[in-house]
């Protein structure tokens, strides 16, 4: 369903993605992990065209994302994106945030958009928060609203860029729970995260990046039991070192285990903050 073929990108003379390739089949969950600055955010933003590439290609279904003739707005209806910092519209209520793109992009009636929004808010456990403003919600609640908003356009693919790394630890679990449920419902997902417990629960594949390269793409069991590359081994060891009391093999898997906050570095990209541009790049 998603095919990333030999993509490369540089900022000025500095390469940030070097010949990166992998595929994601329909219904699969791919987790991208790796050290800070390895290119994870840049790569995921190339998938829906928020970042340009210098060579290679990205296909979603039959659509070539970086073809200049591609209507990116049409494409992004199919690809929901959730960021580290929620990116909700502060002047709109939760319901307003969920209805705006449905009405402007999909042309849904107020009634239809509201019904869908309330359905999605119930799905993320926020049915009673519809009339609050983002500033009246906790970080975990805001991120669940952001997920519901991305789902409101009925996407075929969901992209997540460190959706829990800006949250207080006690709020990480509630967001991961929503993501686990989404994965189990069969959503095709690419998730940049260091939540290795989440990865072990729902990922089909792990893509491990370092210094702009995909060093390893492994089945999740293989990655955790026997990573191929020394760089992945070192990365896993650093995670284990930061949680020395946790025994990877024996403890029960919970989505929230092994939280690693490697960076608060906000992702780059050309998404606009203007009133007529959705954070995932939809223009309306």
| Residue 160 Cβ vs ligand ATP, minimum distance, rounded to whole Å | 12
**Cα–Cα distances in angstroms (integers) from residue 225 to residues 218, 250, 255, in the given order:** 11, 13, 18
User: Does residue 1 contact residue 79 with C-beta atoms inside 8 Å?
Assistant: no
| Residue 43 Cβ vs Mg ion, minimum distance, rounded to whole Å | 9
Strands (E), the chain: 2-11, 14-24, 29-33, 55-60, 63-64, 79-82, 157-161, 188-192, 205-210, 213-219
Does position 39 interact with ligand ATP (CB under 6 A)? The reply is yes
Does position 259 interact with ligand ATP (CB under 6 A)? The reply is no
Q: Which of 251-256's residues contact partners 24+ apart within 8 Å by CB, and which partners?
A: 253/197, 253/200, 253/201, 254/173, 254/197, 255/173, 255/176, 255/177, 255/179, 255/180, 255/195, 255/197, 255/198, 255/201, 256/172, 256/173, 256/176, 256/195, 256/197, 256/198
How many residues in the shown chain lie near ligand ATP by CB under 6 A?
14
| Residue 161 Cβ vs Mg ion, minimum distance, rounded to whole Å | 6
Does position 41 interact with Mg ion (CB under 5 A)? The reply is yes
User: Does residue 193 contact residue 162 with C-beta atoms inside 8 Å?
Assistant: yes
Nearest to Mg ion of 143, 267 (CB atom): 267
Does position 238 interact with ligand ATP (CB under 6 A)? The reply is no
Residue from 36, 52, 238, 254 that binds ligand ATP (CB under 6 A)?
36
What is the spatial distance between Cα 145 and Cα 149, in angstroms, rounded to a whole number?
6
Indicate the length of the chain as a whole number: 284
Residue from 2, 41, 195, 227 that binds ligand ATP (CB under 6 A)?
41
| Residue 92 Cβ vs ligand ATP, minimum distance, rounded to whole Å | 27
Does position 37 interact with ligand ATP (CB under 6 A)? The reply is yes
Residue range at the interface with ligand ATP (CB under 6 A); choices 34-42, 99-107, 135-143, 273-281: 34-42
Phi first, then psi, for residue 178 (nearest 5°) are -65, -40
Nearest to ligand ATP of 42, 143 (CB atom): 42
Site residues for ligand ATP, 71-130, by CB under 6 A, read none
What is the spatial distance between Cα 121 and Cα 144, in angstroms, rounded to a whole number?
8
Residue from 4, 33, 38, 140 that binds ligand ATP (CB under 6 A)?
38
User: Does residue 50 contact residue 277 with C-beta atoms inside 8 Å?
Assistant: no
Site residues for Mg ion, 221-280, by CB under 5 A, read 267
Among 5, 1, 63, residue whose Cα is nearest residue 27: 1
| Residue 214 Cβ vs Mg ion, minimum distance, rounded to whole Å | 15
| Residue 83 Cβ vs ligand ATP, minimum distance, rounded to whole Å | 11
Residue from 265, 272, 283, 284 that binds ligand ATP (CB under 6 A)?
265
Report the interface residues with ligand ATP, using CB under 6 A: 11, 16, 36-42, 262-263, 265, 267-268
Binding stretches for Mg ion (CB under 5 A):
41, 267
């Amino acid at each position: 369903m998603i095919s990333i073929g030999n993509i490369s990108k540089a900022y000025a003379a500095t390469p940030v993605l070097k010949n990166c390739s992998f595929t994601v089949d329909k219904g699969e969950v791919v987790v991208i992990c790796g050290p800070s600055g390895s290119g994870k955010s840049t790569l995921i933003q190339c998938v829906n065209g928020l970042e340009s590439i210098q060579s290679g290609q990205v296909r979603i279904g039959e659509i070539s994302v970086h073809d200049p003739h591609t209507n990116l707005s049409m494409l992004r209806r199919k690809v929901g994106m959730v960021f580290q910092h929620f990116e909700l519209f502060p002047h709109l209520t939760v319901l307003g945030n969920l209805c705006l793109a449905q009405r402007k992009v999909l042309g849904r009636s107020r009634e239809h958009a509201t019904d869908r929004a309330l359905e999605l808010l119930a799905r993320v456990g926020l049915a009673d928060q519809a009339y609050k403003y983002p500033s009246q919600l906790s970080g975990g609640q805001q991120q669940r609203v952001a997920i519901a908003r991305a789902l409101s356009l009925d996407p075929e693919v969901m992209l997540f860029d460190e959706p829990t790394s800006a949250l207080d630890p006690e709020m990480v679990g509630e967001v991961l729970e929503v993501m686990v449920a989404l994965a189990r419902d069969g959503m095709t997902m690419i998730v940049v995260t260091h939540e290795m417990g989440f990865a072990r629960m729902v990922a089909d594949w792990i893509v491990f990046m370092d210094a702009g390269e995909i060093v390893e793409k492994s089945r999740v069991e293989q990655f955790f039991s026997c990573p191929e590359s020394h760089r992945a081994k070192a990365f896993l060891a650093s995670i284990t070192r930061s949680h020395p009391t946790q025994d990877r093999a024996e403890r029960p898997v919970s989505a929230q285990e092994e939280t690693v906050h490697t960076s608060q570095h906000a992702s780059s990209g050309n998404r606009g903050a203007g009133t007529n541009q959705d954070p995932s790049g939809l223009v309306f």
